Amino acid sequence: MLKSERKTALVTGANSGIGLELTKKLIENGWMVVALIRSEFPKEDPEFQQKIRQGDIRIYHADLSDFTQLKSALMQIKEKETKLDALFNNAGGSFPNLSFSPQGRELHYEIQTVVPFIITMELLDLLKKGNPAIVIQTSSDAFHFKRIFVPEELANPPKFHKLIGPYASSKLAITLWTHALAPELKREGVNMISIDPGNNNTMRKGRNGGLPLIIRPFIRLFGPHPSVGASRLFAGLERSSNEAGLYISKGKPTEFKFKQHAPNVLLQVKTVYEKEYLPL
Ligand SMILES: NC(=O)c1ccc[n+]([C@@H]2O[C@H](COP(=O)([O-])OP(=O)(O)OC[C@H]3O[C@@H](n4cnc5c(N)ncnc54)[C@H](OP(=O)(O)O)[C@@H]3O)[C@@H](O)[C@H]2O)c1
């Protein structure tokens, strides 16, 4: 098949955990991958390195929390890539403490809610050339524990709890803006959904500080391999545009709370995009 006929997916956080397994799955299924990553891919897999050399995996680097780096990488992608059939906003994770992006917003919110909106808007023209095009957000069922959700506190939360605090709020917030924006993007030919990849064991030495101590042994013992979560994200490629804006958990469309806040969250991320990112 000619390169121009093959499907292309952009994956953020493609170098590790669920994103790495998703990248492998896409490649196995004949896709090309545009990897938007901060760190390098593991060097030990010669077949994978071969795919990089032959251009089936094309790498762009950025720390996504930094708008200057993000803008530079997105400009390169828009210059060099010709179309995108899928965008997986996957980079992120649960961080160990309250920290802030260079722009001054809480880090989970910036990376997992605001930045995916910026990437989606900036790559919309490439997605419109995809056939059919879909945006798949990596969400999480961690937000089911939330009893209170105040959109105005996302950027500067008054309290911090691992996993069920700002992490869960940021996953709820991306699920909400996706729900609110999906009908508009559907009219432009781009489908958009959120998927919970489920619990996966992506624990690594020195990198587990964002998980509450109590759940670490369970994930270590019973958490499935990240290829399970990757398969759930990959299966999203089959979702039709009739399902635009839905949240998929355990492979099924699933209801979620706080939908009344969806337009407000969308307005918040849109304001950051227009007032802070675009003038850069
Ligand atoms: N594992 C689970 O049980 C689970 C459950 C539900 C949802 N999720 C979600 O699944 C996604 C992938 O997580 P994972 O479990 O596969 O964790 P992971 O192995 O730690 O992978 C996280 C990826 O995100 C990247 N990333 C984090 N911060 C970044 C930044 N500032 N700039 C650029 N890239 C950044 C990391 O890059 P570096 O390698 O440079 O750090 C890495 O590639 C996350 O959104 C997570 O919230 C995971």
**Given ligand 1 and candidates 33, 67, 202, 208, which is best to mutate, with the most ligand atoms within 8 Å of its CB?**
202
Query: What mean pLDDT is predicted for residues 103-122?
Result: 98
Could you tell me which of 208, 207, 205 has the C-alpha nearest to residue 216?
Answer: 208
Tens digit of each residue's pLDDT (9 = 90 or more) over 68-78: 999 999 999 99
Q: Contact, 128 vs 84, CB < 8 A?
A: no
Q: What distance in Å separates the CA atoms of residue 98 and residue 157, rounded to the nearest whole number?
A: 9
Distance from the alpha carbon of residue 233 to the mean position of ligand 1, in angstroms: 14
Residues with Cβ within 6 A of ligand 1? 13, 15-19, 37-39, 63-65, 90-93, 111-112, 138, 140, 197, 199-200, 202, 226
Could you tell me which of 154, 131, 36 has the C-alpha nearest to residue 90?
Answer: 36
Asked if pLDDT for residue 3 goes beyond 90, the answer is: no
Determine how many CB atoms are found less than 10 A away from the CB of residue 63.
16
Name the band, by pLDDT with cuts 50, 70 and 90, for residue 206.
Answer: confident
pLDDT at 208: 78
Tens digit of each residue's pLDDT (9 = 90 or more) over 236-259: 999 999 999 999 999 999 999 999
Name the band, by pLDDT with cuts 50, 70 and 90, for residue 31.
Answer: very high
**Given ligand 1 and candidates 24, 33, 36, 38, which is best to mutate, with the most ligand atoms within 8 Å of its CB?**
38
Ligand 1: which atom is nearest the Cα of residue 139?
7
Asked if pLDDT for residue 1 goes beyond 90, the answer is: no
Relative orientation angle of helices 166-187 and 115-122, to the nearest 10 degrees: 20
Contacts of 188 (CB under 8 A, 6+ apart): 124, 128
- Between 204 and 114, the more confident residue is 114
Query: What mean pLDDT is predicted for residues 253-271?
Result: 98
Could you tell me which of 34, 28, 31 has the C-alpha nearest to residue 3?
Answer: 31
Q: Which is it for the CA torsion 183, 184, 188, 191, positive or negative? A: negative
Asked if pLDDT for residue 209 goes beyond 90, the answer is: no
Distance from the alpha carbon of residue 91 to the mean position of ligand 1, in angstroms: 5
Distance from the alpha carbon of residue 55 to the mean position of ligand 1, in angstroms: 24
CATH code (residue 166): 3.40.50.720
CA-based end-to-end distance of the chain: 40
Distance from the alpha carbon of residue 196 to the mean position of ligand 1, in angstroms: 13
Distance from the alpha carbon of residue 199 to the mean position of ligand 1, in angstroms: 13
Q: What is the dihedral of CA 175, 179, 181, 185, to 10 degrees?
A: 110
Q: What angle do CA 95, 97, 101 make, to 5 degrees?
A: 75
Could you tell me which of 21, 41, 59, 169 has the C-alpha nearest to residue 105?
Answer: 169
Q: Where in the sequence is the domain holding 270, given as residue range(s)?
A: 3-277
Q: What distance in Å separates the CA atoms of residue 75 and residue 276, rounded to the nearest whole number?
A: 16
Contacts of 193 (CB under 8 A, 6+ apart): 134, 135, 136, 137, 178, 182, 236, 239, 243, 244, 245, 246, 247, 248
**Given ligand 1 and candidates 12, 15, 16, which is best to mutate, with the most ligand atoms within 8 Å of its CB?**
16
Tens digit of each residue's pLDDT (9 = 90 or more) over 210-225: 999 988 988 888 899 9
Tens digit of each residue's pLDDT (9 = 90 or more) over 115-170: 999 999 999 999 999 999 999 999 999 999 899 999 999 999 999 999 999 999 99
Q: What distance in Å separates the CA atoms of residue 253 and residue 245, rounded to the nearest whole number?
A: 10
Distance from the alpha carbon of residue 226 to the mean position of ligand 1, in angstroms: 11
For residue 69, the one-letter residue type is Q
Distance from the alpha carbon of residue 202 to the mean position of ligand 1, in angstroms: 9
User: For the chain, how many structural domains are there in total?
Assistant: 1
Closest protein CA for atom 35 of ligand 1: 91
Could you tell me which of 199, 190, 183, 166 has the C-alpha nearest to residue 246?
Answer: 183
Distance from the alpha carbon of residue 94 to the mean position of ligand 1, in angstroms: 8
Query: What mean pLDDT is predicted for residues 45-53?
Result: 92
**Given ligand 1 and candidates 59, 65, 90, 215, which is best to mutate, with the most ligand atoms within 8 Å of its CB?**
90
